[in-house]
Copies of this chain bind each other. A is one copy, B any other.
Amino acid sequence: MSPGHEAESAATADLGFARLDLDRARRQGAPEVVFGPGKSAEQITAIVGELLQREGRPVMVTRVEPDAVVPALEAHEGGEYVVGARLAVWGRAEIAADVAHVPRITVVSAGTADAAVASEAAEVARALGAVVDRIDDVGVAGVHRVLEVSDRLTAADVVVVVAGMEGALASVVGGLVEGPVVAVPTSVGYGAAFDGMAALLGMLTSCAAGVVVVNIDSGFGAAMAAFRLARAARRLAAR
């Protein structure tokens, strides 16, 4: 076998420019998700096709501009593009059908400017089969706004908190609810917000014990974490 194109194993598809992990759905319950930046429209179209054929739905492309994903949406039926979230999704419902206890995830954001990240979190979670409740613009500078929605927060199996600037919402919510809290710092803010650094450090050092953190602006990461947590809770509950 010449270097560069060995025989594909069952677990990997070698497209030349990409090596897809075809074992992901078996191993982790959902297919590989495609990271959009740096991929051409042709590459995205090919990868999506391969994943749809081999792994089943949902197939997702994250952080993708419309131009780069329109060809894939035209080539492969059943996909849709969520503008604010810069997310393309094929086949939201399939995993949900397989879910005995559908997880309830609340995505709460601190400001209207955090909407794009909150939207990515919510849409990825929905694609993975969750029931999502989304609450926007709950800033701690008017803490009564948090308390007003505390029922919706405590009702969730997992709460995803999306906040930029100082990210204090994670601490307040982390102290109100008993279930898992996944905090997403956003790059919203200016000056000393340092593109999300202030919120990131604030969430990592939150005085609310057990709050966990994902990368800046990673609504996707939060949704995946929530999905991992919900699966684990289902498994524990079923014992």
Chain A: residues with CB nearer than 8 A to chain B?
A: 3-4, 6, 9, 11-12, 16-21, 23-24, 27-29, 32-33, 35, 37-39, 43, 63, 101, 103, 110-116, 133-149, 152, 155, 157-158, 165-168, 171-172, 174-182, 185, 187-194, 196-218, 220-221, 223-239
Contacts and interface: CB of A to CB of B under 8 A. Distances in A.
Interface of A is mostly: mixed
B38 A112 contact: yes
Contacts of A214: 204, 211-213
A235 B179 contact: yes
A210 B216 contact: no
A222 to B, nearest CB: 8
B210 A221 contact: yes
A215 to B, nearest CB: 4
A194 B172 CA distance: 22
17 contacts: A3-B152, A9-B148, A11-B142, A23-B144, A27-B175, A35-B111, A37-B113, A39-B113, A166-B207, A172-B172, A180-B229, A191-B217, A192-B204, A204-B215, A211-B214, A234-B237, A236-B237
